[in-house]
Structure 1
Amino acid sequence: MIVASLVCLVAGAFLAGIAHRFDEHVSIAESIAGGLLILGLALIGSGLPIFR
């Protein structure tokens, strides 16, 4: 689960960084990047009770 959350976070940050290159689809790229970042944080949050 840690690997999946890190992949989502890195992919979201990378996509947010290069979103300006998609001239006509910047808002779509930013929305997908935000979704990936939220998914990555949700995966980390869901794994926290395991380590109690």
Structure 2
Amino acid sequence: MRSHPLGATAQIIGNVTDTTTSGFVTMKSKIGAQRIVDMLSGEQLPRIC
């Protein structure tokens, strides 16, 4: 992705692990807090923010 001019500043913003068996997607903040990411409502558009 970084080899393309429009992706020159692309950054990794997360990773996938198998450390949970809850079946939920969780997010860990910079301060170490963890929360469940809510299911999308309405149109199932990709999350880009």
| Bigger strand fraction | 2
Scaled to the shorter chain, the TM-score interval is under 0.3
Give the structure with higher Rg (CA).
2
TM-score (normalised: structure 2): 0.24
Q: Which has the higher contact order (CA 8 A, sep 6+)?
A: 1
Q: Which has the higher helix share?
A: 1
